Structure 1
Amino acid sequence: MTRTDRILGAALSIAVTAVGLLWWTNPASYPFGAHDRVTVSLSHLIEHAAAGAMTAAAGLLGLVLVFAPRPVLRAGAIVQLLFFGVVMSDAGIMSLLGYGLALLGPVALVAVVVMACLRGRWPGFACLAALVALVSAGVVSGVSSPDVMRLVTSNIIAGFASYAGRLGWTLANAAAFAVWALIAVKAFSDGERPRWASAASVARWGRVATIGAAMCPLPYALYRLTWLTPWPTDSALTGALDPGTRLQGVIIAFAALLGAVLTLGLISRWGEVFPRWVPFYHGRPVPVRPPVVAGGLIAGACCLATPGLVVNAVENGQLEMLLLWPYPVWAVLLGAAVLAYWLRRGAHGREGVPDTAGSGLHR
């Protein structure tokens, strides 16, 4: 570990210890347990005394580990990842990412379509026509009228505000998990590349993992797209869906579809070289770090959401939810896809250089 890593790990561990002591000694400060509104987690089954003691112990252990020899650090890092990634994790992180992308996704989509049209590329005009047709159908049906769009936006913002404190703890736990993930990666890195990490092997298993990861958001996208039909999937539970609810479902569906498309970029030509319709950057290599960081964050969020989803599905007797939100499989496949992209373009000394041999898709 570098000096910076030790300082970061020590600062995190001190903060974790303080939080654990606070929860242990002040039950009112504990955001989880039986009174937690978020039940897609393990932490809603753990009360303040046990959680506080475990959290304080995790903090103290972290202080020891950042100054420990590598073998001890490796074992302790796994313990820390299990604690923050399983015991104290919840699926709220995916809700935060999903609705955040739902608010920003339409803006990004319109920007991409406009740029493609300005460059005179036919895919841009095709997407523009499809977008206009979709919006027109929504306006005629009343689903995407200005009033409904304002209502949906205000509802999402109000939801974030209502769960702001709870989501803050979710983000804090995710940050602790991310720090220990980085420490673990460095602790287990020895500079030697195993056979499965060779360029030829990565091109094979990386393509399979990427296509599999891109398919994982599709069940949820299709589930939400049924809200546009007279037979929405939730109609038996909620009755007739109002236009605002339908639009919200469609926005989330398109966010999931956007995630699938971006995942395919990890094996596509446009994931290595900016397409011709991108102003200023067209023809230049795509930097390796942004796709790796973004994909790694989503894969990590899927890991954090997995334990809570499994517990919730078992508690409610709804194991089919694991098919609708396949976080366990998605986390593994997306993590493998991102690793393959990094190994193919960065770790083999080719950062920023297109690797056409490893691409499975093209512009």
Structure 2
Amino acid sequence: MTRRDRIAGAVLSLAVTAVGALWWAVPESYPFGARDRVTVSLSHLFEHDVGGAMTLVAGLAGLATAFASGRALRAGAIAQVVFFGVVMSDAGIMSLFGYGLAVLGPVALVGVLLMGCARRRPWGWAGLAILAAGVVASTAAGFPPWLAARNIAGSLYDYAGRVSWTLADCVACLVWVLIAVKAYRSGTLPAWTRPATVLRWGRPATIGAALCPLPYALYRLTWLTPWPTDAELTGPLDPGLRLQGLAIAFGALGGAVLTLGLISRWGEVFPRWTPVVHGRPVPVRLPVIAGGIVAGACCMASPGLVANAVERDELFQVLLWPYPLWAVLLGAGVLAYWLRRRPYAPSAAAP
């Protein structure tokens, strides 16, 4: 581990120690427990005396780990990953991804169509015409698209304070994941990492990962029907909520399409309609980092999802949001993509 990594781990651990001490000493500052607004987590099950004490101990242990080496460093880093990635994690990070795709998806679609028009592609003009007609028809039917944007912005504003702790936990987990990876790094790779072998397990894993968000997309699309899901909890759905469900559903579908890029030609070479970079190789780090972040988020959402499903005796949640399976399959797909496109050195592979 480099000196910079040790400094990052030490600074992070000092901050965690201070936060843990604050939570332990001042109950009102503790954002989890019974008053937590996000119950798809483990942290809503324990109060400040337990959560604050654990966080304080984790910060002190992180300080010791930052200056350790060998087995102590590896064991300490893994313990930190488990604490931040399992004990203190929640499914709020996946909600952020869902809302983010719901907002950025339409913007990206319009951008793609405009680029098609700029390159004089018929599909660009046809797509813009269909999109404009859809907006006009939706507005005339009482479903103006800006209602969905208003609802999403309102939800993000309401949960901004709570979600900030989710993001802080994700950052802490990511730092320790990077430290752990460097601590376990080895120059020898097993035979299953060879390009010919990667093709056998990488493709089915990627296809499986692309299918994982589809149940949730179909679930949200029911909000456009007379028989919407969750109606018994939310009551009659107003036009804004119905459009919000549509936007989130298309966000999930967009995630599935992007996942397929890991095994598609356009995931290796930028398509012709992309400006400036068309025809150039896609940087390997771009899909790997993006896909790795989503796979990591699925990992962090899994403990809370399973605990909530068991607590409420609603195991169907694991089928509707298959975060555990999604994390494994997407992680495997991203790894396969990286192994296929990295410079391959046969001498580095174990027999």
Shared fold (TM-score, shorter chain, > 0.5): yes
1:232 shift after superposition:
2.0
CA separation in 2, counterparts of 1:15 and 1:193?
Answer: 36
Q: Which moved more, 1:62-71 or 1:25-34?
A: 62-71
Show the counterpart of 2:324.
328
CA separation in 2, counterparts of 1:59 and 1:237?
Answer: 40
Identity %, equivalent residues: 68
Is 1:156–2:152 an aligned residue pair?
yes
Post-superposition CA distance 1:260-314 (Å, at most 9, x none):
0111111111011011111111110111112111111111111111111111111
1:166 shift after superposition:
0.9
**Among residues 259, 276, 282, which one is paired with 2:278 in the alignment?**
282
Letter of the 1:131 partner, please give it.
L
Task: State how 1:262-301 maps to structure 2 within 5 Å.
Answer: 262-301=258-297
CA separation in 2, counterparts of 1:274 and 1:134?
Answer: 29
Show the counterpart of 2:35.
35
Q: For structure 2, which runs of at least 5 residues remain unmatched after alignment?
A: 346-351
Show the counterpart of 2:205.
209
Letter of the 1:41 partner, please give it.
S
Letter of the 2:29 partner, please give it.
S
Show the counterpart of 1:355.
none
Structure 1 residues 123 and 267: CA distance shift in structure 2, 3 A: farther
1:87 shift after superposition:
0.7
1:61 shift after superposition:
1.1
Show the counterpart of 2:96.
96
TM-score relative to the length of structure 2: 0.93
CA separation in 1, counterparts of 2:200 and 2:124?
Answer: 31
Show the counterpart of 1:193.
189
CA separation in 1, counterparts of 2:201 and 2:171?
Answer: 29
Show the counterpart of 1:256.
252
Post-superposition CA distance 1:58-110 (Å, at most 9, x none):
11111111222222222222211111111101111111121122112111111
Q: Which moved more, 1:268-277 or 1:57-66?
A: 57-66
1:128 shift after superposition:
4.3
Show the counterpart of 1:174.
170
CA RMSD of aligned residues (A): 1.8
Structure 1 residues 278 and 322: CA distance shift in structure 2, 3 A: same
Show the counterpart of 1:356.
none
Q: Which moved more, 1:330-339 or 1:108-117?
A: 108-117
CA separation in 2, counterparts of 1:195 and 1:347?
Answer: 15
Post-superposition CA distance 1:26-70 (Å, at most 9, x none):
111110011111111100001111111111111111111122222
CA separation in 1, counterparts of 2:166 and 2:257?
Answer: 27
Task: State how 1:20-59 maps to structure 2 within 5 Å.
Answer: 20-59=20-59
CA separation in 2, counterparts of 1:316 and 1:81?
Answer: 27
Is 1:346–2:342 an aligned residue pair?
yes
Show the counterpart of 1:222.
218
1:132 shift after superposition:
4.5
4+ residue runs over 6 A deviation: none
**Among residues 224, 229, 233, which one is paired with 1:233 in the alignment?**
229
1:347 shift after superposition:
5.7
Q: Which moved more, 1:227-236 or 1:110-119?
A: 227-236
Letter of the 1:67 partner, please give it.
F
Is 1:108–2:108 an aligned residue pair?
yes
CA separation in 1, counterparts of 2:336 and 2:127?
Answer: 30
CA separation in 1, counterparts of 2:131 and 2:114?
Answer: 11
Structure 1 residues 54 and 347: CA distance shift in structure 2, 3 A: farther
**Among residues 312, 316, 324, which one is paired with 2:312 in the alignment?**
316
Letter of the 2:8 partner, please give it.
L
Structure 1 residues 92 and 343: CA distance shift in structure 2, 3 A: same
Structure 1 residues 199 and 123: CA distance shift in structure 2, 3 A: farther
Letter of the 1:250 partner, please give it.
L
1:237 shift after superposition:
4.1
Q: Which moved more, 1:185-194 or 1:245-254?
A: 185-194
CA separation in 2, counterparts of 1:131 and 1:322?
Answer: 34
1:230 shift after superposition:
2.4
Show the counterpart of 1:303.
299
Q: For structure 1, which runs of at least 5 residues remain unmatched after alignment?
A: 350-363
CA separation in 2, counterparts of 1:211 and 1:132?
Answer: 32
Structure 1 residues 335 and 347: CA distance shift in structure 2, 3 A: farther
| Secondary structure of 1:57 counterpart | helix
Show the counterpart of 1:359.
none
Structure 1 residues 221 and 56: CA distance shift in structure 2, 3 A: same
